[in-house]
Amino acid sequence: MRAEILATGDEILTGALVDSNSAFLAEQLELLGLEVARHHTVGDSLEEIVDVLTEMGRRADLAVVTGGLGPTTDDLTARAAAEAAGVSLVLDKEALADIERFFAERKREMTPSNRKQAMIPEGARVLRNKVGTAPGFALKIGRCWACFMPGVPGEMRTMFRDRVLAHIRETFGRDLHPAVVRTVTTFGLPESEVGERVAAVESLFKGVRLGLRARFPEIQVKLYGRLGRQQEEDDLDGAVAWVCSRLGHNLVSDQGLSLPEAVGRLLRQKGATVAVAESCTGGLIAHLLTNVAGSSDYLLGAVVAYANQVKTGVLKVDPDVIAARGAVSRQVVEQMAIGVRSLTGADYGVATSGIAGPTGGSPEKPVGTVCIGLASARGVVSRRYRLFFGSRQAHKTIFAAVALNRLRLSLTGKGD
Amino acid sequence: MRAEILATGDEILTGALVDSNSAFLAEQLELLGLEVARHHTVGDSLEEIVDVLTEMGRRADLAVVTGGLGPTTDDLTARAAAEAAGVSLVLDKEALADIERFFAERKREMTPSNRKQAMIPEGARVLRNKVGTAPGFALKIGRCWACFMPGVPGEMRTMFRDRVLAHIRETFGRDLHPAVVRTVTTFGLPESEVGERVAAVESLFKGVRLGLRARFPEIQVKLYGRLGRQQEEDDLDGAVAWVCSRLGHNLVSDQGLSLPEAVGRLLRQKGATVAVAESCTGGLIAHLLTNVAGSSDYLLGAVVAYANQVKTGVLKVDPDVIAARGAVSRQVVEQMAIGVRSLTGADYGVATSGIAGPTGGSPEKPVGTVCIGLASARGVVSRRYRLFFGSRQAHKTIFAAVALNRLRLSLTGKGD
């Protein structure tokens, strides 16, 4: 069973858009147990699309194709598919009715070019679109079943889940080996060390397959088993537990939660609240925490104390300490953490001060230096780190993650 | 002149990593005036890599290839290249010396597998790597010059700029038509309307080519001309000015600056400072402003007032106004903007309060409702918007952009 993926469109070919559809489809096909052998990208060129479809028709069992089903003259995929399959385009009445309904429901006028979207290769099976105007279709080209979907990610994902999956299951049912996947999130170890620590999982738990995914600054350990085989699903539970035991305090979540999600869950479990005082991270910690729906249950707020006058005026940091130790110092982040905790009345106060770069470093405190403070009813603690990651944004990201991780360790009783 | 791009590696093929290298290379090749006809992705499979290299050798003039040059047994690209070209792998002494130097300088031990990285197809031209261990190389396969680079984005970009560009210029010099590109940033219009407003630029300015790029929430208008032709470069200046005139107050920057960059430049020009009071945007505005290097010159700080007790306690919002009007109201954002301005002593105070979702909406104030307040020496103004964009993160992004845009318009004298 060989599968290939084709993305069409000048925007992707020219680099104007990064193609996220193909990565999504590759993951989905892998979960079905299909081996994806190649991805391709071509522009809005009839000849190129026909060529690559013809090649896939000789080589692959399944092709999933995105893009080029819109109403404009650039949208050539249906014509190319018909040409590659050696059939004509015909008007599909059901597809036309869907398009007419789409415009009627939105009280928008339908143009003749939208009617073009209902022209489908003869013999194709229509894949209805519930969220847009472009119907998809499945067509046999050579030995290959090719499934064509719109390029708009939201429409593509909905059509894949609602229509294409069913078509693939019907067509290839007996040859599929669908997978279940479990994700373990880890932070603070290099990818190579995560790999070494958990490598033995495949030999200890037969039928479990391992994959590592770097989602900076976290690393995800993915464990795959085959769905519907009780023994293997049990093995997967054992494998997750074993992997977690190998990660120690670098384990963030055995359910694939991100650091901000894991911290949020711990705070909610404890009925505790947090407030953040950010210098170098500049609001990123608050942004990450508030990206999680429901975070108002435990995040009271944050002070971005970029200027020293905000550190002293709002957070009540002692100006003499800033003068003596510098704004990037353990003493200052301790006072910031205490200050934001008492200002807001939160149970925990987290503070950052560091040098994200590109300028502002010194031999003693180079770019990549950060101090993290954590205040609670138990008192205040702080640490200093040197984390050189190249860019200002990478520094903000890693500084924020280290701060959230200190809070996480404190909430699980493993911190200072 | 036909160019193709190949990315190799299981991580990209399986969707674990989204391939950003190919988009970068496509943009770079386009700037050289090369027509990129296809991208391909294959995994760490010798057979697949050989197949696609052989196909490109028949079809293309130039291929740029990333990935598979590392020290592990998964790294098969050099072997595949040699096989596709019908040559052997030979040890390259210069490449070996570079690798040895890399380890010596970092006081790290070199393993035998790193020595493997100096094995290069016979007859290839080595492309030295200044920032990593994997040398690249250029090799003729069939009619095609193929340039092989590491997959790590930082190493790849450095090698492309330092080595591959020169090789391409030397090899194809007379057939290249390098482009200059100008970028105009716009905000607040749908992409289709931007397209309609500026479509005529190609007919008004001969030799200028137009491209639109959606970088949510901004839209970039890209104008391309050919380098080194004085008339066309002059036309490009005219085209940029014409496009700007068509965009009115939706023009953010005629130099491709993002909204936070444009706001930062305006503040610096005026010698003015800003502070932000964020409720629904949760720190994102401060994060965006502090992503710009040098932002400490004009950003004093921010208060993320997520809980009402922070709005009243820190920003001095009247609790009775919150009770009477709700936290998402023009009255509250006006008091937040005034509050953060007087708390920090900034010249401008910007405030947001809204409903990012997924829950918290009401018939009167549905998800997507946001109020923006702006305080300055001239007083305080506010507006209410309904901006439905589907997800919590999209709402935070668009709310933050609208707030920054209000500040931008005020700084340019076009606001309230």
Q: Do B343 and A303 touch (CB under 8 A)?
A: no
Report pLDDT for B114: 85
Segment B91-118 mean pLDDT: 88
CB neighbourhood size of B381 (10 A): 18
Secondary structure (3-state) at A230: helix
Distance CA A315, CA A318 (A): 9
- Considering the four listed CATH numbers 3.90.550.10, 3.40.720.10, 3.30.710.10, 3.90.950.20, the one that applies to the domain covering B259-411 is 3.90.950.20
Question: For B241-255, what is each residue's pLDDT tens digit?
Answer: 999 999 999 999 999
Chain B residues inside the 8 Å CB shell of A42: 37-38
Q: With CA atoms as reference, report the closest residue to A50 among A151, A176, A146.
A: A146
Contact status, residue B235 vs residue B225, Cβ threshold 8 Å: yes
Tokens of B73: 């047994």
Residue A266 exposure: Cα atoms within 13 Å on the Cβ side: 24
What stretch(es) of chain B map to CATH 3.30.70.2860? 179-253
Residue whose tokens read 């306690």: B313
Secondary structure (3-state) at A382: strand
Is A283 touching B (CB cutoff 8 A)?
Answer: yes
Our CA-based measurement puts residue B295 at a distance from the nearest CA of chain A, in whole angstroms, of: 9
CA dihedral A235, A236, A242, A247 (to 10 degrees): 170
Distance CA B147, CA B122 (A): 14
Our CA-based measurement puts residue A416 at a distance from the nearest CA of chain B, in whole angstroms, of: 27
Q: Do B290 and A282 touch (CB under 8 A)?
A: yes
Give the confidence band of B212 by pLDDT, cuts at 50, 70, 90: confident
Interface of A with B in 381-410 (CB under 8 A): 390, 392-393, 396
**Phi, psi for B205 (deg, rounded to 5):** -125, 95
Helix (H) or strand (E) holding B394: helix B392-411
Distance CA B36, CA B370 (A): 43
Residue whose tokens read 């995800």: A220
Question: Residue B238: is its pLDDT beyond 70?
Answer: yes
CATH 3.40.50.300 is the classification of domain B2-175: no
- Considering the four listed CATH numbers 3.40.50.620, 3.30.70.2860, 3.40.50.720, 3.40.30.10, the one that applies to the domain covering B179-253 is 3.30.70.2860
Interface of B with A in 201-240 (CB under 8 A): 211, 213-214, 222
Question: For B45-87, what is each residue's pLDDT tens digit?
Answer: 999 999 999 999 999 999 999 999 988 778 899 999 999 999 9
Interface of A with B in 88-147 (CB under 8 A): none
Our CA-based measurement puts residue A9 at a distance from the nearest CA of chain B, in whole angstroms, of: 10
Contact status, residue B284 vs residue B354, Cβ threshold 8 Å: no
pTM value is 0.87
Give the confidence band of A71 by pLDDT, cuts at 50, 70, 90: confident
Report pLDDT for A250: 97
ipTM: 0.87
- Nearest chain A alpha carbon to B7: A39
Distance CA B158, CA B154 (A): 6
Is A37 touching B (CB cutoff 8 A)?
Answer: yes
Is B358 touching A (CB cutoff 8 A)?
Answer: yes
Instruction: Give the count of Cβ contacts less than 8 A between chain A and B.
Output: 240
Question: Residue A415: is its pLDDT beyond 90?
Answer: no
Q: Do A307 and B301 touch (CB under 8 A)?
A: yes
Q: Do B23 and A41 touch (CB under 8 A)?
A: no
Q: With CA atoms as reference, report the closest residue to A120 among A145, A91, A152, A84.
A: A91
Tokens of A115: 């009617």
- Nearest chain B alpha carbon to A356: B293
Chain A residues inside the 8 Å CB shell of B299: 282, 306-307
Question: For A210-250, what is each residue's pLDDT tens digit?
Answer: 888 878 899 999 998 887 777 777 889 999 999 999 999 99
Mean pLDDT of chain B: 93
Contact status, residue A63 vs residue A144, Cβ threshold 8 Å: yes
Is A299 touching B (CB cutoff 8 A)?
Answer: yes
What stretch(es) of chain A map to CATH 3.90.950.20? 259-411
What stretch(es) of chain B map to CATH 3.40.980.10? 2-175
- Nearest chain B alpha carbon to A299: B306
Q: Which of A25, A41, A131 to mutate to test the interface with B (most CBs of B within 10 A)?
A: A41
